[in-house]
């Protein structure tokens, strides 16, 4: 049996072992007997060394012209194109989703590198006329400093790229703690940046748990900004840890995303979008559709066809070309999903399909769960209110668009929503009234592109947005600049008498 590779932390431009001398296993969820790699079980001392390396590098990196910083990102994007297939295959091994999806994950990082690198020559501020004579004024962006980046396992290269790339182009340095279930993809991304010419200390990687590495990074006095994507509970914890020093932090958390299927919808299109949104990535997306809100006029037909399609989905190793749905990420997530299925049954929802772990044949060594559909779900039920993060879908009947929007909005989250209707008036009402950060018309709830802002309302986050130009607002601070060349003291608002 081949020996698993050992991956070290990346600190100050060097690969180094943890001070603990310990490692943890990264296992393939499609075959839990396969160890993908061994990673450092780091601690607060490791986190501190990485922060100090980033702090030292910030002094020179912030002075590198932004277009020059961007050139490194462009080179990294080109390298990632060349490495896309190998990195996608390794990602499937470590997190389980099918190869077409992991190729898309790497592609999103490529897109982020190319799009955000363009900001190196834009990064627009503003100039405005002064109310006083012989005075010039403008606003410019400045970097924040050392950024701590904490990322989840479901998009192990795309989401890290959302944080790393805008942080770097703005002139910040960073330390990233990858998810313990999927650290390898982050190591691949950082190695690509290093190969593209990123200077020592600008980007650092420290593997380990949230308790041992994440919290020391969040509370470190030399960390100026925390960017987190993950669970709502952890996001609340980060907010509390940042509060004493009023540390800048951005949070991207959960979702309970609805698809509204109106009575005039193209049902074939709605079925396509709903199956993909509910069971893509095994439902392990913050934007996954976990509720389908159906108009009563089409509910029976839609339900029958949806369940038939769900039953036909093929579970399997994501490296197989015929696999539709891969495994859940770990044993704890499998138990959580099954617990919610039991809750749904106890609440009186009707289980139409799924609801069980699948362990036959080639699936015996993996963490596979059958696509699960509940009917007769009331909006107040726990399975219709709480994020499950697995292949479990609730079907809810309504009598109108207004009722559908009310049901859609009546949850603690507000990330993504969609509506299927050919009626432009109805579509625009839904776009206006759905209180989410993302709305799709005649498409599912997944498929965001990197040049628009990504994020949500209510319990989904704390108001920041990732991707697009909006990402620069997380990783930079505004500075207003006033240049008075009048040769005398001019007092705004005082020496500015209205013209008579």
Angular region, 347: left φ>0, alpha ψ -120 to 50, beta rest? alpha
Name the packing angle between helices 299-312 and 267-279 (round to 10°).
50
Q: Are 187 and 197 spatial neighbours (Cβ–Cβ below 8 Å)?
A: no
User: Which residues are designated catalytic?
Assistant: 252, 286
Q: What is the reported pTM?
A: 0.96
Q: How far apart are CA 91 and CA 329, in angstroms?
A: 12
pLDDT given at position 496:
80
Q: How far apart are CA 460 and CA 387, in angstroms?
A: 11
Token readout for 38 is 């061994």
pLDDT given at position 171:
98
**For 356, how many CA atoms within 13 A lie in the half-sphere containing its CB?**
8
Instruction: State the DSSP H helix or E strand holding residue 86, giving kind and residue range, or none if neither.
Output: helix 66-95
Burial class, 343, CB count within 10 angstroms (exposed 0-12 / middle 13-18 / buried 19+): middle
Q: What is the pLDDT of residues 239-298, one digit of tens each?
A: 999 999 999 999 999 999 999 999 999 999 999 999 999 999 999 999 999 999 999 999
pLDDT given at position 500:
60
Q: Are 132 and 490 spatial neighbours (Cβ–Cβ below 8 Å)?
A: yes
The list of the chain residues with pLDDT below 70 reads 1-2, 498-500
pLDDT given at position 499:
65
Name the packing angle between helices 158-169 and 66-95 (round to 10°).
170
The separation between CA 339 and the C-alpha centre of its own chain, rounded to angstroms, equals 25
Give the residue from 90, 101, 105 showing the smallest Cα distance to 4. Answer: 90
């Amino acid at each position: 049996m081949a020996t698993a590779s050992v991956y070290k932390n990346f600190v100050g431009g060097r690969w180094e072992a943890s001070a603990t001398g310990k490692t943890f296993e990264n296992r393939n969820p499609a075959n839990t007997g396969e160890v993908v790699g061994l990673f450092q079980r780091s601690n607060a001392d490791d986190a501190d060394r990485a922060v100090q390396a980033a702090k030292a590098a910030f002094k020179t990196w912030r002075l590198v012209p932004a277009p020059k910083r961007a050139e490194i990102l462009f080179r990294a994007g080109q390298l990632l194109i060349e490495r896309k297939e190998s990195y996608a295959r390794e990602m499937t091994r470590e997190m389980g989703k099918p190869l077409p999806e992991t190729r898309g994950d790497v592609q999103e990082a490529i897109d982020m590198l190319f799009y955000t690198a363009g900001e190196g020559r834009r990064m627009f501020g503003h100039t405005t006329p002064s109310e006083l004579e012989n005075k010039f004024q403008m606003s410019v962006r400045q970097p924040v400093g050392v950024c701590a980046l904490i990322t989840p396992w479901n998009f192990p290269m795309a989401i890290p790229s959302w944080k790393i790339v805008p942080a770097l182009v703005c002139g910040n340095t960073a330390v990233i703690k990858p998810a313990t279930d999927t650290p390898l993809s982050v190591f691949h991304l950082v190695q690509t940046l290093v190969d593209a010419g990123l200077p020592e200390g600008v980007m650092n990687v420290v593997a380990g748990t949230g308790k041992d590495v994440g919290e020391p990074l969040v509370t470190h006095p030399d960390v100026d900004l925390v960017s987190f994507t993950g669970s709502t509970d952890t996001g609340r914890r980060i907010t509390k840890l940042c509060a004493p020093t009023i540390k800048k932090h951005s949070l991207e958390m959960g979702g309970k995303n609805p698809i509204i299927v109106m009575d005039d919808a193209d049902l074939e299109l709605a079925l396509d979008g709903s199956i993909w949104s509910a069971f893509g990535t095994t439902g392990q997306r913050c934007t996954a559709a976990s509720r389908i809100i159906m108009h009563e006029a089409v509910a029976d037909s839609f339900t029958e066809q949806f369940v038939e399609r769900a039953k036909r989905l093929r579970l399997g190793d994501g490296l197989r070309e015929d696999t539709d749905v891969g495994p859940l990420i770990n044993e704890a997530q499998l138990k959580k999903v099954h617990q919610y299925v039991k809750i749904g049954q106890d609440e009186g929802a009707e289980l139409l399909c799924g609801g069980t772990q699948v362990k036959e044949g080639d699936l015996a060594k993996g963490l596979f769960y059958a696509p699960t559909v509940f009917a007769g779900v009331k909006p107040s039920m726990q399975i219709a209110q709480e994020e499950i993060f697995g292949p479990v879908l609730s079907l809810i009947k309504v009598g109108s668009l207004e009722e559908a929007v009310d049901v859609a909005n009546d949850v603690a989250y507000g990330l993504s929503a969609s509506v299927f209707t050919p009626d432009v008036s109805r579509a625009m009402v839904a776009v206006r009234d759905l209180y989410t950060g993302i709305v799709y018309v005649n498409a599912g709830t997944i498929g965001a592109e990197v040049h628009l802002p990504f994020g949500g309302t209510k319990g989904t986050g704390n108001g920041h947005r990732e991707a697009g130009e909006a990402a620069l607002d997380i990783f930079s601070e505004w500075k207003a600049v006033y240049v008075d060349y009048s040769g005398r003291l001019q007092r705004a608002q005082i020496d500015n008498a209205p013209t008579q």
